[in-house]
Structure 1
């Protein structure tokens, strides 16, 4: 009988300790808020902008996403490139940069150029005018993840996006 009471007492003590730990963790999480999301920054012509994620989903639970963010605008000209800076938390995984260009006055004929960086790169220089004279309309940084479908196939999906639109200054 004493052994059963001792075992029951130990279980109650462990349960109480676990509950106290869980409550303390929840209070800390509530007080501090969710983890800060990584940002990107872009610099050109003496101006720097910082962009929070446009879309950010848990890479392990893709249906758990933050509310959609905003596309940030950056004023550019034809003479100075954009210096893009990537948070180290983004750069430690492979990430994709998409640059969208279009001929002057003809945004219906957009052309996207994409690069994937696997080398932990945290900075990229982006020309505002490409080799064919098209202007940079915007750029997106994407963090992909691989998921397994119900049929067992592995596919790549994006779980985070940062978006910058250019505003042209003559």
Structure 2
């Protein structure tokens, strides 16, 4: 588990201002217990971090996911064409806010993921599908970090 994960929208917001010619906006679908929601990107830029789309007025989706229930996530080919992962925030058994993330999925290898909370979790609160870009930045602890070129955000209703 990675502690201190916060949604990357604030960091990625700088990229939203850049760009003129915008790529089309792929949607990510979230599904749980008979209900689904298709979410437009809160951020979506080409692989170089340029040509960003302007997000819709409210790019955050909402979906009811019962406690301990899985959340199915389906991404289109445009998202799966680059490395992507799922980051999430949830409540632990004692009410503590915890976070986690899936493995990074290689390009064109996976179009769906089922998020099941770890055993110490009771309630999912926030999910973010993150598509990586080719933009590299120096890592805080050495090495390099890949930028987030696309982000689809879901808040969970109980």
> What is the TM-score when the length of structure 2 is the normalising length?
0.69
Question: Which of 42, 45, 58 is the aligned partner of 2:46?
Answer: 58
Change (3 A) 1:68 1:103: same
Change (3 A) 1:56 1:105: farther
Residue aligning to 2:113: 124
Distance 1:121 1:163 in 2: 19
- How many residue pairs get aligned? The number is 130
Residue aligning to 1:24: none
How far did 1:134 drift? 3.3
Distance 2:104 2:73 in 1: 14
> SS state of the match for residue 42, structure 1?
strand
The higher relative CO (CA closer than 8 Å, separation ≥ 6) is in: 2
Q: Does residue 113 of the first structure (1) align with residue 128 of the second (2)?
A: no
Unaligned stretches of 5+ in structure 2? 1-20, 138-142
> What is the TM-score when the length of structure 1 is the normalising length?
0.65
Distance 2:93 2:53 in 1: 35
RMSD: 2.6
Unaligned stretches of 5+ in structure 1? 1-32
